[in-house]
Structures are given as structure tokens and as C-alpha cells.
Amino acid sequence: MKFLKLSYLLFAMGALTAIWSCKDEDLSPYLEPETAVHGYGRTADGSPADFVFQQIDKSLQIDFNWNSIDGKNTVTKIEFYLFFDEGYVDLEGNDRTARHGGRYDDYTAPRGKLFKTVEAGEVPANRTAINFTVSQADVYNLYKDATFDYGSGSVNVFANPAKPERTAAGWLVAGDKFELGWVIYTEDGRKFDAWSPSICAGEFPNSSCTVKWAIICESDLAGEFDYKQYDIQKGVGGGAGAAFPGEITGTVTWSVGAAPGKYTSTDITFGQFAFAWSDDPVVLPVINDACNVITLSGADQYGDTYIYNFTNITGAVATIRWTNTYGDAGTVELTRKDGKNWPTLKGG
């Protein structure tokens, strides 16, 4: 009996050995990691980092190279896609973003407009940079037929009545943002269009997922101005003020404030407080220039806020109709004393 038990034991051990020695390698818990490639895009040294409003002749220079860390991949084609986001205010006064090309990280929606393809002999070697330009005209030509519903029906993006500042002199305006992404194809038939968060965050050396930029504005409104004010109204506690006859003249100075495009004034009311109220000038609100759109932020010493509407600009003279929430108002002819012309400004 002991002999039979030993025989069964030896048979079982042999069977197990045979099964283990004939295992399927595909069932191994260890998987060899797949090799991959990633891209590295950035604005070139010496290139502007952003577009400048109404300077459509100034382009961005982009440097791009693909990286195969272990050198086991060969890239055969690279596609570059351009994304265009527009900031706007909806009918309820909320800040919104119109993503005219979709989101770069949203694979269920259209993903940008194909801007450029590099393939075959044009593809650089591993870690070798190529350089190309992106202009404001490139963005316009890719998206000139795009439409969007801002709340009152679809309109052409570049013919939105709410943004009359979009003209041939500057199709792209404040609030416009852009992103350049890429798709990389390798010789073994694979397609790379997404990377890990560490790649996109720049935590990995010489890596990125997109190049981002926006529209910036060069503002030059600081200086000393002569004013003549008429059609003056004296506030009555809100709403329309009462006419206050007379005409006043004087000088105000706008100085650069806490940041570019922000200005302080020696008198926001151009002498109206002294003339109509025998009061101190208004100096607290800040004049904001966002690509020639003028707004005023902050309140005066009584908590009232202000609006400047530019009704006419001719050379060095700008005509402004200003109002505040108390009902004060006036029409001002503001003349630059530095010999420069006013840019085309919009307020309200």
C-alpha cells in the first residue's frame, strides 16, 4: 500500500511539472511595456509669445521635435491642428467660452482644424527641431466660415454684431485664445494623439502636449489731454440727471496704473464734480483698455460706477459721452497733447 501511495505522488508531481513546462508565454503576468513617442512644441527663441491686436503682420515662430527616448520608433508623419477659443458674455451676463475647434482633450467632438502636415522626407530625425510660422491670417483662413450661436441664433464668428472691433485690421480680439496640438504617426502603423498628464504638465524633460497663446494688446493711452465739456447733467439719485447749463474746459492726465492697459485719471468726470457740485474730482475708478475696448472698473467716493462711450474719434480728438449710476453725465471733447492720434476706441 505504501508503494502505491508513493507511485501516485510521483505521478502527480510529474504531471504538474509537465503542465508548468508547457505554459503559454502570452499568459505571463509580466508585459513588456510598449515603446512610444511624444512631441515637444514651443515658441522659438526670439519669437513673440502671443499675437498682438491689429498687428497682423507679426507671426509666431514655432519649434517642434518628436522624441523617441529608446530610439526604437521612426516617425513617418506629423499633423498639426489649430484650436480657437473665444471668450464672450451670454444673454444673462455670464462669461462663456466658444470652442470653435472643440477641445484638444475631447475625443468625442471635432478636434481643431488641420493646419499643417509634415510627412515622408520632411519629417525630421529623432529630437531634431523643425520651425514654422503661425499667423493671424492662418487662424482667420481656417475659421472664416465658422458659425456660433451666442444666444440669438448662429452668426459668422467674424461678423458677430457684439464684437464690431473684429475688422480686416484685426480679425482677432481680446478674449481670443489659441492652441496648437499634434498627432504623430510611426512606421509600425501606430498613431499617437494623447499623452500622460506628466507629459502635458511639462514634468518630463523636453515634452509638451500643445503650444498655447492668446491675443494681447499694446495700449498707449497715457498722457495729458485738454478737454471741453458740454451737455452736462447733474445727477438726481439714479437714472437720467437734470440738465446743468454751461461749458467747462481744463486738463486731465491719464497715468499707467497697476498693469499695462490700466490707467488712473486726475478726474474721471472732466471737472463736472467741481462745476456742478463744488466737490472734489473723481479719481478712484480705473480706465481699462482691452484691445481698444474701454471700460471703467471700481467706484467713486460715493459708490457710483462709470461708463465712457466714444461717439466720435477724429485724429487727436475723441468725443466721449460719460455717465455714472447717480445720473451725472457730460459730453467731452478730449484732445491729446502728445501729437498722437487716438486709436479707434469703443466704450460702454
Domain ranges of the chain: 38-216, 223-347
pLDDT of residue 27: 57
Cell numbers standing for residue 108: 468625442
Is it the case that residue 70 has pLDDT exceeding 90? no
CA 304/CA 9 separation, integer angstroms: 97
Tell me if the domain spanning 223-347 has CATH number 2.40.128. yes
> Is CATH 1.10.3130.10 the classification given to domain 38-216?
no
Contact between 313 and 340 under an 8 Å Cβ cutoff? The reply is: no
In whole angstroms, what is the distance from residue 269 CA to residue 332 CA? 9
Residue 218 has pLDDT above 60, yes or no: yes
Residue type for 100, please? H
- Is 171 buried (19+), middle (13-18) or exposed (0-12) by CB count in 10 A? buried
How many angstroms separate the CA atoms of 189 and 187, rounded? 5
Question: Who has greater pLDDT, 282 or 348?
Answer: 282
C-alpha 239/C-alpha 288 separation (Å) is 24
> pTM here?
0.72
H helix or E strand, kind and range, residue 194: none
- What letter represents residue 312's amino acid? N
267: confidence class by pLDDT, cuts 50, 70, 90: very high
305-330: pLDDT as tens digits: 999 999 999 999 999 999 999 999 99
Give the C-alpha separation, 136 to 169, whole Å.
Answer: 11
pLDDT digits (tens, 9 = 90+) for 94-140: 999 999 999 888 777 778 999 999 999 999 999 999 999 999 999 99
Same fold yes or no, 38-216 and 223-347:
no
For cell 478737454, the residue is: 227
Give the bridge partners for 185, in sequence order.
77, 191
Do residues 87 and 172 touch, judged by C-beta distance below 8 A? no
Half-sphere exposure of 181 (CA within 13 A, CB side): 21
Q: Which residues contact 209 (CB under 8 A, 6 or more apart)?
A: 39, 104, 181, 195, 199, 200
Q: In whole angstroms, how far apart are CA 290 and each of 93, 176, 252?
A: 18, 12, 21
Is residue 267 within 8 A of residue 322, CB to CB? The reply is no
